[in-house]
Structure 1
Amino acid sequence: MPATASRPGSVTDSTVVVFGDPVAAAAARHLALAPAASMQELAQAAGVSRATLFRRFPSRAALVAELCRTAAEAFVSSVQDAAPEEGSPPEALQRVVQALGRLSAVVGLLGLQPLQENVEAALLARTATTEESLRQLVRRGQESGDFRVEVDPEWVLTMLTWLLVGAADSVRLGRLTVGAAQRHLEATLTSTLIRS
C-alpha cells in the first residue's frame, strides 16, 4: 500500500489525539499498515526527514516500542470508557465499536507488532484483561439471548481487530468517509452477532 501522509487536523488524523503530535501519529498509522517499514519510510509517511525522526527516536526499536505502548494504553482506556459490562449487550457492543473505531488507524500495531518485546508486562496484563472483558461481553450477550451462540468470542475479537484495520485503510485511501467506515463496521458486527 502506498504511503500517504495525512494533513494535520484532517478527518484521517484523529490519531494525533492518541499519540500527541502529528509526527508520531503519522508514523503509527504507517507502521500499522506496513509493520516492516524502515525509518526512512516512516519519516516519509510523517513528512519529516530521517534525521529528524532519529532525533525524536534514537532507534527504530525505540520508536516501535513507544508507539506500541501508546496504542496499548489507548486500547485499554477506550474499552474501559465504553464500559462493556454495563447495559444491554447490544448497547455495550455499540459503545465498544464506537470507542475502538476512533483507534482504527492504529489497531494494526497491536496485531502486527511483537507486543511482548515492546510493552512492559504490567501493560500487557492490562491489555489481556481488556480483551477478556470483550470476550465476556460476547458471552453475556449469548447467555441473554441477544447474540448468536455459534459465534466464538475469540472470532469476534479477531474480526473486530481486522475490520478496524480495513476501515482505517479505506479511509486513508479515500474509499470511505470516517462516518461510512464506522457505520459499516457497526453493521457488520451487529449482523454477525445479533440474533434476528
Structure 2
Amino acid sequence: MNSISHDEQLLKSLTLAVANRPRATMKELAQLAGVSKATLHRYCGTRENLVLRLEDHAEGTLNLIIRSAGLLEREPLDALRRLIRGHLDHRELLAFLMAQYRPDFLDLEQGGKRWLFYLEALDSFFLKGQHTGLFRIDITAAILTELFISLIYGLVDAEHRRRAANTDSARILEQMFLNGALLGEEYRGRAPMLEETR
C-alpha cells in the first residue's frame, strides 16, 4: 500500500471516528481509527489540528464530488444522479460534517467561506436545471440547494442512526427530490387500502 492510500485510509477512519464519537478523547479516536495514540499525535498533534485536517479533507472531497458530477457539463438528470452517488460514496464525510455543524457553520465571517464554493456550485447547477426545464421555477435555485442538502445529509444521518438502510438510498433521494412525498398516480386509488392494512 503506498503512502497516499494509507493517508487516505487514515483520514477516512478518523473522519468516521469523529462522526461516531464527536466528544471522544484523542486516545479513544486513535483506538476507533485503529492506530496508536502516538501515531495520531504525530499525524495531527492536537484535537484542533485533527478537526482542521478533517475539514480540509472534507473540502477537497466535496470539491471532487462537484467536479466528478459534471454539474454544468452533463445533462441535469445525469448530473443529479452522479451528485447523489458522489455524496453517498462519502457517507462518513457527511456524518462528520453533521457532527461538526453549529449555527454559525456557514457564517462567512466565522470561517464559512471555505464552504461557499459548494453552495455556489449547487446553486448554479439547480439554476441550469431550471433553465432546461427539469427543475421547477417557482422555487429559487438557492432553496433547491438547501432542500437537496437537507435530504442527502438527513438520509445519511438516518442511516447512521439505523433508521434507514443504505441499500436503496440513491433511488429514494432522487425520487424524493424530484417528486416529493406526493403519492404516485399508480397508487392513488389504493391509498385507503394501504391505510386499512395497518
Q: TM-score, normalised by structure 2?
A: 0.67
Query: Alpha carbons of 1:153 and 1:103: their partners in 2 closer, same or farther (altered >3 Å)?
Result: farther
Q: Are 1:84 and 2:71 matched, yes or no?
A: yes
Within 1, Cα distance between the matches of 2:110 and 2:17? 17
Letter paired with 2:89 = R
Query: Alpha carbons of 1:117 and 1:128: their partners in 2 closer, same or farther (altered >3 Å)?
Result: closer
Alignment deviations for residues 126-183 of structure 1 (CA, whole Å, 9 cap, x no partner): x423431211111122222211113332233333334333333444455544331222
Counterpart pick for 2:16 among 13, 29, 34: 29
Does the 8 Å contact 1:18/1:71 carry over to 2?
no
Question: Superposition RMSD on alpha carbons, in Å?
Answer: 3.6
Q: Secondary structure at the match of 1:54?
A: helix
**Any gaps of 5 or more consecutive residues in structure 2?**
186-198
User: How many percent of aligned residue pairs carry the same amino acid?
Assistant: 26
**Any gaps of 5 or more consecutive residues in structure 1?**
1-16
Within 1, Cα distance between the matches of 2:160 and 2:7? 17
For the pair shown, which has the larger CA radius of gyration, 1 or 2? 2
Kindly tell me the number of residue pairs found equivalent between the two proteins: 173
Query: Alpha carbons of 1:118 and 1:45: their partners in 2 closer, same or farther (altered >3 Å)?
Result: farther
If asked which structure has higher relative contact order (CA below 8 Å, sep 6+), I would say 1
Q: Secondary structure at the match of 1:178?
A: coil
Query: Alpha carbons of 1:41 and 1:134: their partners in 2 closer, same or farther (altered >3 Å)?
Result: same
Does the 8 Å contact 1:104/1:164 carry over to 2?
no
Within 2, Cα distance between the matches of 1:28 and 1:159? 24
Q: Partner residue of 2:122? A: 134
Q: Partner residue of 1:185? A: 173
Q: TM-score, normalised by structure 1?
A: 0.68
Q: Partner residue of 1:168? A: 156
Q: CA deviation at 1:89?
A: 1.9
Misfit runs of 4+, over 6 Å: 115-119
Structural mapping, 1:116-131, within 5 Å: 124=114, 127-131=115-119
Within 2, Cα distance between the matches of 1:54 and 1:117? 30
Within 1, Cα distance between the matches of 2:126 and 2:140? 8
